[in-house]
Amino acid sequence: MPIQVPMSDELRSAVGTPSRATLLESSPRSRVWRVELRGGDRVIVKQSAGGGGAGAKADEDARYAREVAALRLAARATGAGGPAVAPALLATDPASRVMVLEHLDDLGAAVDDWMPAYAETLARLHALTGPADTGTLPAWSGPTAADADSFLALAKALDVTVPPGLPNELADLIDRLDPAPHHALLHGDPCPGNDLRTAEGLRFIDFEQASLGNGLVELAYFRIGFPTCWCAMSVTGTPLTEVEDIYRSTWRGLTGTDVPGDLADACAGWLIRGDALVQRAERESTDHLARIPAEDFAWGYVSARERLLHRLNAVAALTRSHDPLHTLAHLSNTLATRLLTRWPTLRPLPTHGERPWF
């Protein structure tokens, strides 16, 4: 029986002939195979796929081009003589939206503490690009005025008074989060499962949402609970301080500058985004913050209200002495108290030590 993997004659000529292929679990937006080649080498074959509906092909093409571009930028890490931050891109077939990638053996839970390597590799990834790379990837998409309006409406729906200065404070926040001055190579979804722990170090995979922007919006994942991930987690205390210090010192060592921007702004940006409460397939579909008073919807093993509660507490703590966001700090604290008063069984997020292994 022929090997059912979409490798054209050109790809086979470039990397070898498959002798066995195993279809791996992946998102609905892609198909991924582990392929054993004649001679014993292994590769990963990934094909961008669509979820159906109008514009599906254009979306597939865009995601494919985005991931290929990001992987080529990520390859600069080894070109500069440093450790890799992603698998090598071995060959591409744009007509079929297929890429062939280096196969990596994941050590998984055999690595005791996953976060230091994650933080270091994230900083190295972010530091690979600069202003000259403008246009190679889309700019990061930040929160909008509609997100701010939805957040303010949520407070009112929960009978929390909105301070008169908060709308202007959020408008200024959105302006400060403009990605235009920043050119870090952002992964787009740096979640557990998209990081592989290999014998040579940590590698990120699945760059189909990559963009250029401020690296702080992904460093914020530690404080804000991994907002684009089904497996939301809490990192606090000394582990949080250590990983943020690793990120900042790695960035400084590579660029000679301090990380630009404000981590409090990055966390606040994630707080007001209702789409960060649901999986990618459900984003840009409805006002998810407006659903919170009436229903608690799950994503993975954490509910939307539990995600929101964690983010409110994180932002309240981080912005307590932060002049540009002091009104948001007060409202976040009040909203967190209101959520627990109405729904006292809300659970804290699992700790980073409880992260799932794939």
Q: What is the pLDDT of residues 279-311, one digit of tens each?
A: 988 998 899 999 999 999 999 999 999 999 999
- 213 in the same domain as 195: yes
**One-letter amino acid for residue 97 of the chain:** R
Plot region of 195 (φ>0 → left; ψ -120 to 50 → alpha; else → beta): beta
Q: What pTM did the predictor assign?
A: 0.95
Count of C-beta atoms within a 10 Å radius of residue 64? 23
Count of C-beta atoms within a 10 Å radius of residue 200? 10
Is 4 inside any structural domain? no
Query: Residue 123's pLDDT is what?
Result: 98
For residue 322, pLDDT beyond 90 = no
- 329 in the same domain as 250: yes
What CATH number does residue 192 fall under?
3.90.1200
- 182 in the same domain as 319: yes
- 166 in the same domain as 20: no
For residue 2, pLDDT beyond 80 = no
- Domain boundary among the residues 102, 135, 156 is at 102
Provide the token pair at 113. 């503490």
Q: Taking residues 224-249, report their average pLDDT.
A: 96
Q: Using CA atoms, how far apart are residues 302 and 131, in angstroms rounded to an integer?
A: 38
- 113 in the same domain as 92: no
Q: Taking residues 92-104, report their average pLDDT.
A: 96
Count of C-beta atoms within a 10 Å radius of residue 107? 14
For residue 1, pLDDT beyond 80 = no
- 253 in the same domain as 219: yes
Q: Is residue 123 a contact partner of residue 260, using CB atoms and an 8 Å limit? A: no
Is 192 inside any structural domain? yes
Give the DSSP H or E segment for 298.
strand 298-299
Q: How high is the mean pLDDT of the chain? A: 93
For residue 178, pLDDT beyond 80 = yes
- 85 in the same domain as 16: yes
Please name the residue that has the structure tokens 């400060």: 176
Q: Taking residues 96-105, report their average pLDDT.
A: 95
Query: Residue 224's pLDDT is what?
Result: 97
- 85 in the same domain as 13: yes
- 203 in the same domain as 55: no
Residue range(s) defining the domain that contains residue 235: 108-354
- 66 in the same domain as 210: no
- Domain boundary among the residues 102, 124, 144 is at 102
- Domain boundary among the residues 44, 71, 102 is at 102
The number of distinct structural domains making up the chain is 2
Is 185 inside any structural domain? yes
Query: Residue 57's pLDDT is what?
Result: 79
Q: pLDDT-based confidence at 193, cuts 50/70/90?
A: confident
Is 1 inside any structural domain? no
- 88 in the same domain as 123: no
Query: Residue 357's pLDDT is what?
Result: 72
Query: Residue 355's pLDDT is what?
Result: 86
- 76 in the same domain as 57: yes
Is 167 inside any structural domain? yes
For residue 51, pLDDT beyond 60 = no
